[in-house]
Amino acid sequence: MSDGELAQAQAPARTALFRAERVGKSFGPVTVLREIDLDVRAGEVHAVLGENGAGKSTLMRILSGHYRPDAGQIWLDGKPVAFRTPVEAEAAGVVLIHQEILLADSLTVSQSLFLGRELRRGPLVDDRRMRAIATARLAELGCRASPDARIRDLPIADRALVQIARALLEPHRVVIFDEPTAVFTPHEAHALFDIIAKLKAAGTAVVYISHRLHEIEQIADTVTVLRDGRHVVTRAAAGMTQLDMARWMVGRDMSTLYPPKPPSPGADAPVVLGVRDARVPGHVEQASFALRKGEVLGFAGLIGAGRTELFEGVLGLRPARIGAVEIDGEPRALGGARDAFEAGVAYLTEDRKGKGLLLNQPLVPNLTLAALADFCRGPMLDRAKEQRGFAQAQARFDIRAGRRDLLVRQLSGGNQQKLLLAKMLLVEPSIVVIDEPTRGIDIGTKSQIYAFIAALAASGKACVVISSEMQELIGLCHRVLVMRAGRIVGEVAGDALTEDRIVVLATGATHASVAAAHAGAASDAASDAASDAAAARHPT
């Protein structure tokens, strides 16, 4: 018996509610999936893991009617099904919640939730009732967005919550989550996990894709790993560690995820970016900080804390009132991306697909756009120099693309992020601000991105890392500034750079309450383990 067959045999033996059998899919000459089997049972959370490009999202789109398989069969309740569209899949009780935000920017929150299924009072749309339901459903997910807010005005995390609320507005038999917490902190993710527990208790089958392995450890019952479009392993999640998952995913040891930190620059190092009394209306009040040469400075906080808005304000990407901005000790007024580039500041947006890259354009123009003047000979673009520049960037950042004529949207999320990093570093900045550097990226590519950031700091560049992943901040940064409700409320560094300390500052909780929460979680886990052991000794 092969390793995969042995692991499959270790999975629970209950009858599958939803099943993929020997599913295959190709796009032109590229085979993406090869004979994939997946059994999803009612009342369980089945996690599907794999690096970017492993075939996870393609499989989910087949299961939900977005793609038709080239081979194999899908079964629901023991009967073969062939969904031609997502509408057919939803009618049968199968819904996919996409990682990408697929909402109309001009609609309000309540309109987005009920689009195509509006509630009526007689011949009129019942806006009042829809707003009330929208408010209640979003509150369950910990989202405080107004039902009358326009989607375009919401932070990306709130947009993700609206998309989840829309998908869960009606009951389904199978719910597929594709990277649902990619823009959430653990605090926001907890509300979603409560919803998933309710779905599970109601007998709903949940398929869950995430690169956050601690989430899989927390909520999954069964784990399936794909690699290069093939099934690698399926086994019960109990007893499977994050390191086990990572090894299955990448086929190598991932015990050293974070590179060694460069030496801390210390208080005597020159300040390369100083900001005093930054105010971003509706988001940030009186934020001041200093960034030193060779430093990796982290910014932590919950959704809505103002981290992204602070830097967009400082760089002139949104309206703000700044007391002072100094770069290398000189006052600067930054009015947008071009001013920032000229001042030696590069900003990598958290929304790489919406604001960072041109998804429907080829790779080479995306790389050179920010530094286009460097690739011109007189008034003309030097195409040969562009091609040489891309070859160098592709080698340096390990951008994996079979052909240069691919469109950016055809790259995996990890390769898109590496392309964005390569693009912004072409302007040769001395200060690099990276917002959510590894959102939606697999663990192998995360390791590469972390190494790039450490190398930037070691070379003397100053880096700001804005992240919702506390372990990422702890593993990368010399210091972390924590924001709450639009203000910088504290700094953690050295031995104080711990998850507990960040949580205390980000939430306003006390150390005692955080410790109690950890103790409660441990107690719950012990209780669950004892119950499972008792059930095994006395089966019904």
Task: Give residue-wise pLDDT tens across range 370-415.
Answer: 888 889 988 899 999 999 999 999 999 999 887 888 899 888 888 8
Mean pLDDT over all residues of the chain? Answer: 86
Calculate mean pLDDT across residues 148-157. Answer: 88
Query: What pLDDT sits at residue 170?
Result: 87
In this structure, which long-range contacts are made by residues 336-339, counting pairs with CB atoms below 8 Å and at least 24 apart in sequence? 337/370, 339/315
Identify which has the larger pLDDT, 181 or 298. 298
Query: What pLDDT sits at residue 254?
Result: 56
Nearest C-alpha neighbor of 498 from the set 521, 522, 517, 482: 482
Identify which has the larger pLDDT, 303 or 269. 269
Handedness of CA 422, 424, 425, 427 (dihedral sign): positive
User: Quick check: 423 and 367 in contact, CB under 8 A?
Assistant: yes
Calculate mean pLDDT across residues 294-320. Answer: 93
Neighbours of 363 (CB within 10 A): 26
Euclidean distance between CA atoms 138 and 70, whole angstroms:
38
On the question of pLDDT at 118 being above 60, the answer is: yes
CATH superfamily of 271-510: P-loop containing nucleotide triphosphate hydrolases (3.40.50.300)
Place of tokens 């709903």: 204
Query: What pLDDT sits at residue 523?
Result: 43
Query: What pLDDT sits at residue 319?
Result: 94
Share of the chain above pLDDT 90, in %: 55
Query: What pLDDT sits at residue 7?
Result: 42
Residue 207: strand pairing partners: 46, 176
Q: Which fold has domain 3-93+172-250?
A: Rossmann fold (3.40.50)
Query: What pLDDT sits at residue 311?
Result: 96
Residue 321, amino acid: R
Largest CA distance in the chain: 82
On the question of pLDDT at 169 being above 90, the answer is: no
**Over the range 398-435, which residues count as b (16 or more CB within 10 Å of their CB) and which as e?**
ebebeeeeeebebbbbbbbbbbbbbbbbbbebbbbbbb
Neighbours of 464 (CB within 10 A): 25
User: Quick check: 107 and 138 in contact, CB under 8 A?
Assistant: no
pLDDT per residue as tens digits for the range 211-246: 888 899 999 999 999 988 899 999 999 988 888 888
Calculate mean pLDDT across residues 440-455. Answer: 86
* 127-140 and 156-167 helices, crossing angle to 10°: 110
The pTM for the full model equals 0.63
Query: Residue 283 class from Cβ within 10 Å (0-12 exposed, 13-18 middle, 19+ buried)?
Result: buried
Residue 377: strand pairing partners: 380
Nearest C-alpha neighbor of 182 from the set 210, 206, 213: 210
